[in-house]
Amino acid sequence: MPTVKEITTHLESIAPPSYQESYDNAGLITGNASWEVTNVLCSLDATEAVIDEAIQKGCNLVVAHHPIVFKGLKKINGRNYVERTIIKAIKNDVAIYAIHTNLDNVLYRGVNAKIAERLGLQNISILAPKVEINDLSVGAGVFGELPQAMEEGEFLRFLKKNMQTSCVRHTPLLGRPIKTVALCGGSGSFLLQVAIARKADVYITGDFKYHEFFDADGHLVIADIGHFESEQFTIDLLHEIISEKFTIFAPLKTSVNTNPVHYL
């Protein structure tokens, strides 16, 4: 059986840890790199319920997009969901590995390329390349084109269906067709001005605040589809990357919906 190290090394060949943002905590959070892996459970978040599922299904490695630990833990006594998750994983010998902003920041097999694939975008490129790396395939967000222009309302309905979201919050429609698309999985309001500068017709992301919608200022349509909703297909992405390389077992995708936001 492959070891935790062998699986994480493969993941890091696609999304090197050096590509993660300074605030991030990607990498092996619990467990030992030398453990033999019985099976892998892929998820967006590593919550208590996901660890329970891993234990039940015989998976001793959870590969998640979001790190369960973002900042230092001074005590681990189960007072909140983060500490309870860590305790449960350690007690049951479950390794947790997070591949977060480093997977966001790569074009090939990255989070945003997966979204672009769902929308059928063509001619995709990084929206905001990391110039200090001098590699145009590394950076935040994705910019691409629809095969054919769509009317704004038609596009928003297409977006809602293809991204399987129950809600699309958007700015006023501008009466212009949608052809060029900028997007960023997760919280992407920081890229709005870049999307405007790239002359995108629409910018798709999650977690826009009320006053930030005004910043579209008639340049484009902001379409906020939700944080979880924008990144949910990262589970499929992780499953594909692992199952194509390691055929000795069949990696699993979590059946737990970890989205903490619900709509009435």
CATH of domain 105-230: 3.40.1390.30
105, 138 Cβ separation under 8 angstroms: yes
E strands along the chain, which residues?
A: 27-30, 40-45, 61-66, 95-98, 122-129, 139-150, 169-170, 178-187, 202-206, 221-224, 252-253
* Contact indicator for 1, 248 with CB cutoff of 8 Å: yes
What is the token pair recorded at 57?
A: 């299904």
Average pLDDT, the chain: 97
pTM of structure: 0.96
Separation CA 160–CA 166 (nearest Å): 7
pLDDT of residue 107: 98
CB of 166 within 8 A of CB of 184? no
Using 50 as the pLDDT threshold, list the residues of the chain that sit under it. Answer: none
Nearest to 6, CA basis, from 249, 238, 245? 245
- Token readout for 170 is 């958007």
Please give the pLDDT value at position 71. Answer: 85
CATH H-level superfamily of 4-100: NIF3 (NGG1p interacting factor 3)-like (3.40.1390.30)
| Per-residue confidence (pLDDT) for residue 23, from 0 to 100 | 95
Residues of the chain with CATH 3.40.1390.30: 4-100, 105-230
In this prediction, residue 72 carries a pLDDT of 84
The β-bridge relationship of strands 202-206 and 178-187 is parallel
pLDDT computed for residue 212 by the predictor: 98
Query: Are 63 and 42 spatial neighbours (Cβ–Cβ below 8 Å)?
Result: yes
- Dihedrals φ, ψ of 152, to 5°? -55, -50
Rg of the chain taking only CA atoms, in angstroms:
19
CA distance 184 to 192: 10
Q: What is the DSSP letter of 61?
A: E
